[in-house]
Amino acid sequence: MAADSGHYTVLVLLDLTSAFDTVDHGIFMDQPQFELGFSGSVLQWFSSYLSYQTFNVAINVLSDVAGLSCGVPQGSVLGPILFLLHIYISSWSDYYLYADDVQMYCSFRVSFLAILLECLSSIKNWFNNNFLHINPNKTEVKVKRAWFILREAGLSHWLA
């Protein structure tokens, strides 16, 4: 176990606000090309699928139909898959993705706590730059057998 070898294990449970609704189509179309190597007809298929997403509003009268420039259909089979492709970053530490849940974990020595805080800050910035918003009220940072470290390092406040 990590704690037995002088390492601590941190688990970050990220909760994203309106995750499916905030996927920017422009950013999404760049992501699969560079991170996953998709090209050609696959990118055209993604573009076609996202281009025809529309909505209208009914308050006494039905509004005109308008196109969406962000979001993936949450109730569809493809929505969660497209969202996961959107947030896939190969250079992150170990993590699990399921629908709009992100669980990240790593082991570290106490001397590397500053690097961990920098990593968490980078992750937060990546989400912000991609119009995805971390919900600080539902996001958790857990450190195995080292709760005192949270207070000393301010780790519990990295979302602020």
Q: Per the domain annotation, does 48 fall within a domain?
A: yes
pLDDT of 3 reads 47
The CA angle 89-44-77, to the nearest 5 degrees, is: 65
% of the chain at pLDDT higher than 90 = 4
pLDDT of 124 reads 86
The CA angle 82-85-86, to the nearest 5 degrees, is: 85
Q: Total structural domains in the chain?
A: 1
Q: Which of 13-22, 67-76, 77-86, 103-112 has the lowest mean pLDDT?
A: 103-112
Q: What is the pTM of this model?
A: 0.69
Residue 154: pLDDT band by 50, 70, 90 thresholds? Answer: low
Of 133, 159, 155, residue with least CA distance to 144: 155
Q: Per the domain annotation, does 88 fall within a domain?
A: yes
pLDDT of 48 reads 87
pLDDT of 20 reads 87
Across the chain, mean pLDDT equals 77
Residues 11-51: tens digit of each pLDDT: 888 888 888 888 888 888 877 666 677 888 888 888 888 88
Q: Per the domain annotation, does 63 fall within a domain?
A: yes
- Domain assignment of residue 74, given as a range: 8-153
- Rounded-to-integer distance, Cα 18 and Cα 159, Å: 17
Residue 101 has pLDDT above 60, yes or no: yes
Q: Per the domain annotation, does 1 fall within a domain?
A: no
Q: Per the domain annotation, does 158 fall within a domain?
A: no
Residue 92 has pLDDT above 80, yes or no: no
Mean pLDDT of 73-90: 81
Q: Per the domain annotation, does 160 fall within a domain?
A: no
Q: Per the domain annotation, does 2 fall within a domain?
A: no
pLDDT of 63 reads 93
Contact 128, 159 (CB under 8 A): no
pLDDT of 35 reads 66
